[in-house]
Each structure stands twice: as structure tokens, then as C-alpha cells.
Amino acid sequence: QKEVEQNSGPLSVPEGAIASLNCTYSDRGSQSFFWYRQYSGKSPELIMFIYSNGDKEDGRFTAQLNKASQYVSLLIRDSQPSDSATYLCAVKPGNTGKLIFGQGTTLQVKP
Amino acid sequence: DTAVSQTPKYLVTQMGNDKSIKCEQNLGHDTMYWYKQDSKKFLKIMFSYNNKELIINETVPNRFSPKSPDKAHLNLHINSLELGDSAVYFCASSHGRAGLEQYFGPGTRLTVT
């Protein structure tokens, strides 16, 4: 079992829709959870992180964490073509900066 | 103005050669990282330094040796390059060793022929 699992996609949504990206992790001791966006040929950019159960909102983005189910998700409201990218879920198991990444989900937002 | 910079951006070399990649950050961070992203886009941490101290050392071949002359610089030297070393190598930095907000450099695409 991979430590962090994501559906590689592609996930295709129409412009203006809600995109839902999901991630599961295996280490119950994981403390912090991250979503990065990576455009093709570019470096990963941090969207947001979450460490408490529940929802965390930042603009059009909402991260959701359920530690009991070992599940973290990212919702993107009012999806735009510029949101088309690969979204990487990452888990931080300890108190260092070691991030364990999933393989990423490719999102395509169609005009 | 570049926050995290890497040189070179592209590196093409032959098997058996030795090469170095350099990274510099001007964010005032004290922790820096090296990640490797393979052809399947899987991103994996290799090393991390906090104030010139090695704090993360993942299972990578001994041919890879990081060096941090100061907290703003982290270099990666690779000996006896192999085909499997072909990848994109990203440098990143953060404030503090907890690494909650990591800023990535533009990456160095290494191709070993």
C-alpha cells in the first residue's frame, strides 16, 4: 500500500463547477496535510495546509480532513481553466519538514 | 527577485560523469531541501538541512552528497551518474525545521545518456 494515494485522473470538470480532489494516507500518526498545485513544467506551489479535523477555507479552495478515515480532500469552487494542473497531496508524519507526496491528480477544467 | 533559484535549469550528461546542482534562496529561511521528481511525476524528498545541519537523509545512493555552505545555499553533488538518475530535481526552503510552508525552486532537469 502506498503511503499517500491519489487517483491520477484526469479529472475533467466544466468551467464554473466544483472540482473535488481526494487523497488517502496510511500513517495514522500523520500530523499535517498539504495540497500543492503543479502546472506542467513548473514547480509545486503550496495551496494550503490543514492539521485539524474539519474544513479549512481559503478563497475558492476548501481543504477537508477526516483523520478517523485517513482522508483529506480539496474542493475548488467555481473552477477556472487556469486551475487546470496537477494537484499533489502531501502528508507530514513528524516534526521535521519531511513531506510524503501522492502521485498527484491531473485536473482539466473545460471552458 | 527570485525567491529560490537553481542552476543549471537543464543538465545533459553521460553515464559515469560527476555533476553538481546549486540552489540559493533569498527568503531568509533556515531550512532547505532537495526533492527528486521522476518521470511519473512522483515527488520524493532526498535531504534537508537546517542551519547547515543535515536533518533529513532519506535512503538515497551514496553517490548523492548534499552540501550546505550556509543557510541560504544548498548544493547537490552526484557522482558516477546513472541512467536512473534522470529526473527533475527541486530545491525548496522553509522557515523552521517543521517545514510547514515550503517554497520550491524552478527545478533542474537532469538527463543522463
Cell digits for B107?
Answer: 527545478
Of A42, A86, A97, the CB nearest to B99: A97
The whole-angstrom separation of Cα A3 and Cα B72 is: 31
- Which of A99, A103, A105 is best to mutate for the B interface (most B CBs within 10 A)? A99
> Do A105 and A9 touch, CB atoms closer than 8 A?
yes
Q: Distance from A95 to chain B by nearest Cα, in Å?
A: 5
pLDDT tens-digit profile of A15-68?
999 999 999 999 988 989 999 999 999 999 999 999 999 999 999 999 999 999
Q: Which of A38, A46, A86 sits opposite B102 (nearest CB)?
A: A46
pLDDT digits (tens, 9 = 90+) for B62-103: 999 999 999 999 999 999 999 999 999 999 999 988 888 999
